[in-house]
Amino acid sequence: MKYSIGELAGELLNQAVANAEATITGVVCYADYCGAWEYGGPIIEREKIELIYYGEGSYNGLPWEAQTERYIGQSVGDATSGPTPLIAAMRAFVRAKFGNEIEL
- Measured distance CA(1)–CA(72) in Å, rounded: 29
Query: For residue 56, what pLDDT is reported?
Result: 74
Tens-digit pLDDT profile for residues 17-67: 999 999 888 888 899 999 999 999 999 999 999 999 988 766 677 889 898
Query: For residue 75, what pLDDT is reported?
Result: 45
Q: How far is CA 34 from CA 4, 30, 99, in A?
A: 16, 11, 18
Query: For residue 89, what pLDDT is reported?
Result: 95
Q: Which of 57, 94, 90 is nearest to 76 (CA)?
A: 57
- Measured distance CA(39)–CA(28) in Å, rounded: 14
Query: For residue 58, what pLDDT is reported?
Result: 66
